[in-house]
Amino acid sequence: MFKRWVWAACFILALTWMLPGGVFGLSRDRWTNERPYGVFFNDYDPNFYTGFVPRVQERERIKIHLGKGNQLRVRMILSDKTIDNYLLDQVARHDLYKEVIDRKIIKLTSNTAWEEYHQKVTDEKLRDLVKKKGEMDEKAWRDLNLAYMEKLVPGRLYHIQKDFTKMVDDFARLLKSAPKSDSLQAKLDLINAFFPHRIFLHDLTPEQDADFQKLEALAKADDMKAFRPKAKAFFDTITDGIYPIKDGKLDYYEFTTIYPAGTYDKTTTHDGQVMPLYTTTGVWWLIPRKHGKGILGMVDYISSAGYYGMMPMLPYEYGGGIAYNAIHNPGISCWIPGHHLLPEGWRKITTGSRNGKPFNRVAITSRGPVSHGCTRLNSGHLTELREMLPSTSEGMEGIMHYRSLSHCYDVFDLQGDGNDQVMGVQYYIAFRHTKSRVAQEIWAQNNRKDFYAWLYGNDLTFAPLGEASFKEVYDYKFNKRKALEGKKYENLKLYEAPYEPEYLQFYVINGVDKLSEEGMDFNRELRRVGYGYKIDRKKLRLE
């Protein structure tokens, strides 16, 4: 009898590991860490961004990565145009918001993010700064823009400086010492090592293949005089010319941000460890939505379903019928009063409330298994991501999106100095919700230690912030869009990006249904301020 009971218990335990969603580890306990995350609000209204990130209009300069740990890393290689127009764009966006508010075209609701944003623009005297453009030489103006980008969006601007001549010589030595590449994968591995973590070539055109074979031959012949100029031309070709090289130096600025992300609502196991399952892996890019409800034919799609928050959904995979996998908002909101999971202190939060009363709802994403297949971001982070991307839907088409296997980490050196780290973020919330989109169970308590024990398992050696490290990890690589296990690393530190505050203001359009075509066009157009784009003032009811 005892043996039969033990066998039954073992069977039930094994079964729980195989059940959809990975029942193992779920709890109905209340979160105890009362630090607020997400966006507190009352109703699903249109909204606009109230932060200060730069806009990049060139799609080839934007790279999006998803790796184990459930975080989305967005890296933007800043062009001279982006830098030189940074302050101009910030003022133009602020002034457009102010105009539609002052002319009572919109009415602000729920929160007071606009007032805080307006005060920041005023305190920093941004409108006075842009008047200096004609008084400064080119370098001084550029330096002023960079200084304010770092001041207004601290900790996300990186100055990358490399000796390109040394990079070329190192590449030649690598090609000389390596066996002659006889497969696409062998060639890709060598080419991507030219600029590690910043080249993710996943295929070769016939022309690129021929050029690479010439470089191999020159390297093995030790003909550096011929190798160097051909290597530079090859580098420019495979990177779309986005990296400026002058006098043998590579010198440019990157803007990198990391957001917590929700993924498919199932777990998987690898080497005996349970982890969130990534279903759509490999190389993808943003595509227009051609099927479904509402206004179609664009990347900049906004759903009429309230729980999508009246903000853009950015598709990258067609799923059949009207379904797409996309980067979108949490997809749910939690009613705060009486909620059995939310910290009790959240019921009393009034900071930023327009009516001075506690908020009704909070939108928080689950950094773990939660989605039907999409990638979920917090509402403010999605709003910020949209702000960084090109103004038009056409401009967003083709933005590259690299998605790892479930067990492969996003290894990156933020400074471009070879100090490889595993990318992470300081956000400790993961939950599952019901079919009616009510948060029901948590994956772990929302403190750093408990959450990391669940998220990383035995991979991580826990330590204070900035000191935690991984015993052994693999990064990822790609072959013809397919994700593969990449290089093995040992004893890498965990980089824990700060949780970025969420900046958005809710509003309604006076006299216009937010779900009408006119309302959707207004919502979309208000997000498009940026150099090289002329705002359609008719869509904003300004003409």
Residue 139 and residue 193 in one domain: no
Per residue, the 3-state secondary structure of 153-204, as one string, reads: CCCCEEEEEEEHHHHHHHHHHHHHHCCCCCCHHHHHHHHHCCCCCCCCCCCC
The average pLDDT across 20-26 equals 52
- Other beta carbons within 10 angstroms of residue 81's beta carbon come to 13
Alpha helix stretches (DSSP H) within 413-541:
448-455, 517-525
**Are residues 192 and 338 located together in one domain of the fold?**
no
- Same domain? For 276 and 317 the reply is yes
Counting residues of the chain whose pLDDT is more than 90, the rounded percentage is: 93
Q: Is 51 contained in some domain?
A: yes
C-alpha distances (whole Å) from 508 to each of 40, 51, 338, 430 are 17, 20, 28, 31
CA angle (456 as vertex; 435, 66 as ends), nearest 5: 65
Strands 361-363 and 39-41 turn out to be antiparallel
The answer to whether position 408 is within a domain reads: yes
* 3-state class (DSSP) for residue 448: helix
- Please name every residue paired with 421 in a beta bridge, in sequence order, or none if there are none: 412, 493
Closest CA to 341 of 212, 429, 209, 472: 429
Q: Are residues 207 and 121 in the same domain?
A: no
Report pLDDT digits (tens) over 311-352: 999 999 999 999 999 999 999 989 999 999 999 999 999 999
Give the CA angle between residues 229, 232, 234 to the nearest 5°: 110
Structure letter (DSSP) for residue 177: H
Q: Dump the DSSP string for 417-443.
A: SS--EEEEES----EEE-TTS-EEEES
Q: If residue 153 lies in a helix (H) or strand (E), which one and from where to where? A: none
Q: Are residues 399 and 351 in the same domain?
A: yes
> What is the band of 180 on the pLDDT scale with cuts at 50, 70, 90?
very high
In a domain, 91, yes or no: yes
Q: How far is CA 543 from CA 67, 92, 518, in A?
A: 46, 17, 14
Which one, of 429, 406, 405, 410, lies nearest residue 421 by Cα? 410
∠ CA 43-46-51 to the nearest 5 degrees? 105
268 is a domain residue? yes
Q: Which amino acid is at 225?
A: K
The mean predicted confidence, pLDDT, of the chain is 94
> Do 213 and 273 have their domain in common?
no
Query: Does residue 86 share a domain with residue 215?
Result: no
Handedness of CA 91, 97, 103, 108 (dihedral sign): negative
Question: Containing domain of residue 177, as a range?
Answer: 161-241
> Do 281 and 417 share a domain, yes or no?
yes
| Tens-place pLDDT, residues 238-295 | 999 999 999 999 999 999 999 999 999 999 999 999 999 999 999 999 999 999 888 9
Residue 60: burial class (beta carbons within 10 Å; 0-12, 13-18, 19+):
middle
Q: In the predicted model, is pLDDT for residue 10 greater than 50?
A: no
Q: Where residue 229 falls among pLDDT bands split at 50, 70, 90? A: very high
**In this predicted structure, what is the pLDDT of residue 426?**
98
Pairing of strands 439-442, 431-433: antiparallel
pLDDT at 359: 98
* Shared-domain flag, residues 312 and 220: no
- Say how far apart CA 105 and CA 111 lie, in whole Å: 18
Token digits of residue 231 = 């290597």
* Per-residue pLDDT at 2 exceeds 90: no
- pLDDT tens digits, 404-446: 999 999 999 999 999 999 999 999 999 999 988 889 999 999 9
| pLDDT tens digits, one per residue of 56-95 | 999 999 999 999 999 999 999 999 999 999 999 999 999 9
pLDDT tier at 18 (50, 70, 90 boundaries)?
Answer: very low
Answer whether 358's CB lies under 8 Å from 352's CB: no
Q: Give the Cα separation of 214 and 172 in Å (integer).
A: 12
Q: Is the pLDDT of residue 3 over 50?
A: no
Whether residue 205 sits in one domain with residue 83: no
Tell me what pLDDT residue 16 has. Answer: 38
Task: Work out the average pLDDT over 140-163.
Answer: 98
Per-residue pLDDT tens digits for 398-412: 999 999 999 999 999
What does the alpha-carbon distance between residue 481 and residue 295 come to, in Å, rounded to a whole number?
29
pTM reported for the whole predicted model: 0.94
Collapsed DSSP state (helix, strand, coil) of residue 541 = coil
Is 50 exceeded by the pLDDT of residue 212? yes
Q: Say whether both 294 and 230 belong to one domain.
A: no
Is residue 123 a part of any domain in this protein? yes
Distance of CA 177 to the CA centre of its chain: 37
* Domains held by the chain: number: 2
Decide if 16 is inside a domain: no
- Give residue 5's pLDDT: 41
Q: What is the mean pLDDT of residues 27-55?
A: 97
Q: Is 533 exposed, middle or buried (0-12, 13-18, 19+ CB in 10 A)?
A: middle
Residue 4 forms part of a structural domain: no
Q: Would you say residue 531 lies in a domain? A: no
Provide the CB-side half-sphere exposure for 305 (13 A, CA).
Answer: 14
Instruction: Look at residue 15 in the predicted model and tell me its pLDDT.
Output: 38
- pLDDT score of 6: 35
In this structure, the answer to whether residues 317 and 464 fall within a common structural domain is yes
Q: Strand 312-320 relative to strand 323-328: parallel, antiparallel, unpaired?
A: antiparallel
Q: Quick check: 22 pLDDT over 90?
A: no
> Of 358 and 5, which is predicted with more confidence?
358
Give the residues across from 51 on adjacent strands. none
